[in-house]
Amino acid sequence: MRGKSSATLIVTANVLAGCNTHQSTLAPFGVDAADIRHLFIIMLVGAVVIAGGVALLMRHAVRAPEGSIDHRKGMRIVLWLGGIIPTIVLLALLAYSLPYMKPRPASPADLTIAVDGEQFWWRVAYAPPGRAPILSANEIRIPTGRTVAFRLSGGDVVHSFWIPGLAGKMDMIPGRINSLVVRAEKPGRYRGQCAEFCGLSHALMAFDVIAMPPAAFDAWLAEQARPARPSDDPGARLFAANGCSGCHGIAGVTAPSRIGPDLTHFGSRRTLAAGILPMTTANVAKFIRHPEKTKPGVRMPSFPQLSDDEGVALARYLQGLK
Ligand code: CUA
């Protein structure tokens, strides 16, 4: 009976996960999230069994004739059901779940990815062992089958880094580095989300997570390490004339970014504005001219002085940065 009910629960969990496989703790693509789902199912089965037992006891108590349980027997029931059995169950659950809480070990040979939460986007720096860091933003790619160590911090207020299908949440605290070591197993495109209220656009602070086979990942990272080529495109001239490089870096063209997201390979990202809009020319142009319309509370100033055509030219230039 118990085996049957847990099988039913696993099927139900997978059916529910089918509703959203991009951002779901029930559809893990990493080993840590799979552990969390396993613990969840164990605890859910336990909770259902206990709740069922309590319901049966209640039914029995209501139907029993008055006076059938004396004071002594009643106290014994309270002692066992209210004290001893819950203590045993909780201790057993603790002993069972403790090994899952042990952080996954990382070695210096593993890829490190530094991610800082900002209002309201993600600053990303890949640090492959023995090579210079590669700056990026708002999208995270990881290889499957390899250990990856995230070094998480906050640039302004406290954020929380959460990729439900990969691992549990981890706070991003200014002035402190928290480590989260993960391992993805299934390639695919997934989604992460800020999980700590951090201001007006907290709910609009998401990102794409792309898990790739190791060889494809290595090729992609080598591509990301390449600087952009300086260009005389009208969009590039607008980028310089409007002072965009004061906040945004484009390797090979400007100094690295200290304030806003790095744009060196902007056009290779699938989404815009931290996972909020599809990467289309119209969306990029609209975001540059009026970022606050997409993201209330955004730090980036608006550029209403740009004409429609100038917005499109700038967007085309940035999308060309692959
Ligand atoms: Cu960042 Cu919520």
- Distance between Cα 121 and ligand 1 center (Å): 8
Share of the chain above pLDDT 70, in %: 94
- Distance between Cα 154 and ligand 1 center (Å): 10
Is any ligand 1 atom within 6 A of the Cβ of residue 192? no
Mean pLDDT (the chain) is 91
pLDDT of 183 strictly over 50: yes
3-state class of 218 per DSSP?
helix
Atom of ligand 1 nearest to the CA of 120: 1
Domain ranges of the chain: 19-63+103-221, 234-319
- What average pLDDT does the segment 115-132 reach? 94
Per residue in 272-308, pLDDT tens? 999 999 999 999 999 999 999 999 999 999 999 999 9
Is any ligand 1 atom within 6 A of the Cβ of residue 159? yes
The CATH fold assigned to 19-63+103-221 is Immunoglobulin-like (2.60.40)
Is any ligand 1 atom within 6 A of the Cβ of residue 286? no
- What average pLDDT does the segment 166-183 reach? 96
Rounded CA-CA distance 177/300 in Å is 26
pLDDT of 265 strictly over 90: yes
Atom of ligand 1 nearest to the CA of 205: 1
Is any ligand 1 atom within 6 A of the Cβ of residue 196? yes
- Distance between Cα 302 and ligand 1 center (Å): 21
Q: What is the pLDDT of residue 247?
A: 95
User: Would the CATH topology of 19-63+103-221 be identical to that of 234-319?
Assistant: yes
Place domain 234-319 in its CATH homologous superfamily. Answer: Cupredoxins -  blue copper proteins (2.60.40.420)
Atom of ligand 1 nearest to the CA of 196: 2
CB count within 10 Å of CB 221 equals 18
- Distance between Cα 198 and ligand 1 center (Å): 4
- Distance between Cα 63 and ligand 1 center (Å): 53
Q: What is the pLDDT of residue 271?
A: 94
CB count within 10 Å of CB 169 equals 15
pLDDT of 1 strictly over 50: no
Rounded CA-CA distance 100/83 in Å is 26
Per residue in 34-89, pLDDT tens? 999 999 999 999 899 989 998 998 998 889 888 888 899 889 989 998 899 999 98
pLDDT of 227 strictly over 50: yes
pLDDT of 91 strictly over 90: yes
Atom of ligand 1 nearest to the CA of 157: 1
- Distance between Cα 296 and ligand 1 center (Å): 13
Q: What is the pLDDT of residue 129?
A: 86
- What average pLDDT does the segment 133-142 reach? 96
- Distance between Cα 269 and ligand 1 center (Å): 20
Are the CB atoms for 243 and 288 separated by under 8 Å?
no
Are the CB atoms for 115 and 134 separated by under 8 Å?
no
Q: What is the pLDDT of residue 4?
A: 60
